[in-house]
Amino acid sequence: MEKIDIRSFDLKELSEFICGLSQPKFRAKQIFKWLQSGIEDFSQMTNIPNDLRQVLSEKCYIANVKIVKKFVSKIDGTVKYVYELFDGEYIESVLMKYEHGYTVCISTQVGCRMGCSFCASGLDGLLRNLTASEMLAQITKAQTDNNIRVSNVVMMGMGEPLDNFENSVKFLRLVSCDEGLNIGLRHISLSTSGVVSGIEKLANYNFPITLSISLHAPNDTIRNTMMRVNKKWNVETLLNACRQYQKVTSRRISFEYALIEGVNDSFQCADELAKRLKGIMCHVNLIPANPVKENSFKKPNHDKIMRFKERLIYNGINATVRRTLGADIDASCGQLRRKAKEVLTYDNSL
Ligand code: SAH
Ligand code: SF4
């Protein structure tokens, strides 16, 4: 009999399950709290009767992640974790400290099938989706390992969250639940490469999260060379979906734009971008492209990046340059990867 992923249950599902075991409903709340706290074993549920713990361990498992490697940046204290999953696969996750608290960047898939040309996460394709519980576990593990409380989450690690739609939505529900980690949806960002069908579905949930769109180019000619997803949903289709999403949710949209020297960093690109984003309540996050050793692209120099930003602002578009964190441990955007073997050879690990 296949065991049940009890940590992916929301409170309602758990209550139904617990009542189905002829147990009182209040037990569900107690068990839910334990599961959200990051315990590893049913024996740790000290206020639950022994016989119920026994039944639970026979029928269910508690999804978790195991730290196999931990890298701490000497520059800014950012921590990158390599986690092993129950099936021996590896994912990476990053803990960052900002003035307002701790943020965890979680992975949503093992690998990614979108194949963006500048990103390390998709180099080996997609192996499998992560469950909601495995997404949650990346947060609880970082919390217990550092004895901290995480206040913000970005779904910007390895994987395309909207290509794992049901689990991503389930995760959003779980992580923001009062009885659980209680991280408000306003403190969560979900980044997508532009899976329009997913954006349309997500709008119906009306979550007050920040939707980040990895745009990276102002037109199809350039975007087609960078992102395969653009062949399915081009810039116009994507921006129309963003307009529609905004109409429903009234949320400001964040556009990610990785600046790559000689590809998308010209003044013409900035002007065209500003023109196309006009009318959308948005913010552009410029990311100096982070190196991926399998590729030869470079980020533009600092002056050029600043001039691109100023040009957007001059054109009436709100823009900032994202601070690079964890540069010495390959923990920045697009650098998380599935293969752990090569990661394990780094000499700056703990
Ligand atoms: N799959 C989702 C979320 C994970 S990627 C998405 O693509 O949006 C998180 C962010 O890192 C995305 O904006 C992505 O485009 C960006 N990124 C990928 N590779 C990068 C690189 N080498 N340099 C800078 N940003 C990169
Ligand atoms: Fe996947 Fe996002 Fe990387 Fe593209 S940028 S390959 S969608 S993780």
| 217's tokens | 């180019």
* Global confidence as pTM: 0.94
Residue 326 is predicted with a pLDDT of 82
In the reported structure, the alpha carbon of residue 14 is separated from the centroid of ligand 2 by a whole-number distance in angstroms of 33
Query: Relative to the alpha carbon of 155, which ligand is closest?
Result: 1
Ramachandran category for residue 159: left, alpha or beta (phi over 0 → left; psi -120 to 50 → alpha): left
Question: 250 to each of 207, 244, 316, how far by Cα in Å?
Answer: 10, 10, 20
Of 60, 92, 116, 160, the active-site residue reads 92
Ligand 1 proximal residues by C-beta, below 6 Å: 118-119, 156, 160, 191-193, 214, 256, 258, 287, 289-290, 292, 333-334
Residue 268 is predicted with a pLDDT of 97
DSSP state of 61: E
Ligand 2 proximal residues by C-beta, below 6 Å: 112, 114-116, 119, 121-122, 158-160, 193, 214, 334
| 307's tokens | 């001039």
Name the residue at shortest CA distance from atom 4 of ligand 1. 156
**Per residue of the chain (350 residues), what is the pLDDT tens digit?**
799 999 999 999 999 999 999 999 999 999 999 999 889 999 999 999 999 999 999 999 999 999 999 999 999 899 999 999 999 999 999 999 988 899 999 999 999 999 999 999 988 899 999 999 999 999 999 999 999 999 999 999 999 999 999 999 999 999 999 999 999 999 999 999 999 999 999 999 999 999 999 999 999 999 999 999 999 999 999 999 999 999 999 999 999 999 999 999 999 999 999 999 999 999 999 999 988 888 889 999 999 999 999 999 999 999 999 988 888 888 777 777 776 545 444 443 33
Query: Relative to the alpha carbon of 125, which ligand is closest?
Result: 2
In the reported structure, the alpha carbon of residue 227 is separated from the centroid of ligand 2 by a whole-number distance in angstroms of 9
Residue 132 is predicted with a pLDDT of 98
Residue 340 is predicted with a pLDDT of 52
84 noted as active-site residue? no
Return the number of other C-beta atoms located less than 10 Å from residue 164's C-beta. 24
Name the residue at shortest CA distance from atom 8 of ligand 2. 159
Q: How many residues does the chain have?
A: 350
Name the residue at shortest CA distance from atom 25 of ligand 1. 333
92 noted as active-site residue? yes
Q: Reduced to 3 states, what is the DSSP secondary structure of residue 123?
A: coil
Residue 325 is predicted with a pLDDT of 83
With beta carbons less than 8 A apart as the criterion, state whether 289 and 298 touch. yes
Q: Reduced to 3 states, what is the DSSP secondary structure of residue 260?
A: coil
DSSP state of 41: S
Residue 346 is predicted with a pLDDT of 43
Name the residue at shortest CA distance from atom 15 of ligand 1. 214
Query: Relative to the alpha carbon of 229, which ligand is closest?
Result: 2
One-character DSSP codes across 261-320: TTTS-SHHHHHHHHHHHTTS-EEEEEEEPPP-TT----PPPHHHHHHHHHHHHHTT--EE
Name the residue at shortest CA distance from atom 24 of ligand 1. 289
With beta carbons less than 8 A apart as the criterion, state whether 219 and 272 touch. yes
**Closest ligand 1 atom number to CA of residue 290:** 23
